[in-house]
Amino acid sequence: MSKVTVLSVDDIAFLEPYLPRSKDELPFVTLTYASSLDGMISLAPGLRTTLSGSATKSMTHYLRQYHDAILVGVGTVIADDPSLNCRYPGADFEPQPRPIVVDPRARWDYESSKLVQLSLQGKGKKPLLVHVAHGVERKNQDDGVCEHAYLPAEGEGPDSNSSSLDWMSMLMEFKRRGMDSVMIEGGATIISALLRRPELIDSVIVTLAPTWLGAGGVTVQPAERHEGGERVNAARLMGTAWRQFGDDAVLCGRLGT
Ligand SMILES: NC(=O)C1=CN([C@@H]2O[C@H](COP(=O)(O)OP(=O)(O)OC[C@H]3O[C@@H](n4cnc5c(N)ncnc54)[C@H](O)[C@@H]3O)[C@@H](O)[C@H]2O)C=CC1
Ligand SMILES: Nc1nc(O)c(N)c(N[C@@H]2O[C@H](COP(=O)(O)O)[C@@H](O)[C@H]2O)n1
């Protein structure tokens, strides 16, 4: 496993314009992930896949220390059993981001997960799990190892069967809980959905690894978009900047609306 090392002064200067700034109503949202040249983020559903080299891994940990929270979907915690803490040299407990898992139907069995173990050992903050308000068995808001937030599903009445949570409501809830910045790391479903909500995303930082994962991989692909009856690009980065980190390229920008 590669070591997380300190970034160069030039790497840090490159990232600076994309770091969180204070916002009033909503948290600052950074969307960041590592992609192959064929637009994939893992070899197959459910398979943890390393795409970032040691320099871009260090970059991810550098970014984590500037965020109050790291958000992933339930597909990612089940596939990866991640740590989601900040291992950048010098990072202590206080810069640790809080892990957030979007798990609408409470299907993640988290008791023996790394996230819970790290939090119990004082090496990470207590995870926050986000569920739909109706149709799931409710736990205490704090069950000792995780906190649980129950939010109305989109288009919800008490009889609704929807599992879809509204991103604006989730972000407002995070802000209400004191989180001013959220780093969204994946997986494919979460990233693809957010690429269609450009107004909610403040920074995008994508690592491009010089490899093709091949057929059957998990692809980032936002839903198609139409304007005036015509098919148009689904999403686009503006104000882009590139830099090489080891063998990888890092592309930063902001989503156009
Ligand atoms: N290369 C990279 O940077 C990363 C790769 N990954 C990979 O991605 C793969 C996992 O991707 P996915 O299976 O797509 O899982 P995912 O992590 O995107 O989670 C998908 C699930 O999240 C929930 N969800 C998402 N949006 C929701 C919403 N608006 N409302 C309610 N629930 C919502 C749903 O239950 C959905 O099934 C894994 O193989 C993992 O290794 C994950 C993160 C980063
Ligand atoms: N930036 C990046 N590069 C990769 O190659 C990856 N596979 C990921 N995955 C994301 O990072 C999480 C793992 O974090 P820990 O090292 O366990 O703290 C994983 O769950 C994905 O969110 N990211």
Work out the pLDDT band at 92, boundaries 50, 70, 90.
confident
Mean local confidence (pLDDT), 92-116: 94
Give per-residue pLDDT as tens, 117-150.
999 999 999 999 999 998 899 999 999 999 999 9
> How far apart are the C-alpha atoms of 119 and 126, rounded to whole Å?
5
Expressed in angstroms and rounded, the spacing between residue 107 Cα and the centre of ligand 1 is: 13
pLDDT score, position 159: 58
pLDDT band with cut points at 50, 70 and 90 for residue 158:
low
Percent of the chain residues past pLDDT 90, beyond the cut: 91
List, chain by chain if needed, residues with CB within 6 Å of any ligand 1 atom.
33-34, 41-42, 45-49, 51, 72-76, 79-80, 102, 104, 163-165, 185-190, 193, 218
The two tokens of residue 134 are: 């109706």
Q: How does strand 28-35 pair with strand 181-186? A: parallel
How would residue 234 be classed by pLDDT, with cut points 50, 70 and 90? very high
Residue 162 pLDDT: 83
- Which residue in this structure is represented by tokens 């291992």? 87
pLDDT of residue 160: 65
- Residue 209's pLDDT band, with cuts at 50, 70 and 90, is very high
Residue 154 in this model has a pLDDT that exceeds 90: no
Beta-bridge partners for 129? 101, 148
Ligand 2 within 6 A of 2 CB? no
Counting residues of the chain whose pLDDT is more than 70, the rounded percentage is: 97
**Residue among 23, 26, 40, 58 nearest 187 (CA):** 40
pTM: 0.97
Number of residues in the chain: 257
**Rounded mean pLDDT, 209-215:** 98
Half-sphere exposure (Cβ direction) of 202: Cα atoms closer than 13 Å: 18
DSSP of 166-220:
PHHHHHHHHHHTT--EEEEEE-HHHHHHHTT-GGG--EEEEEE-S----TT-EE-
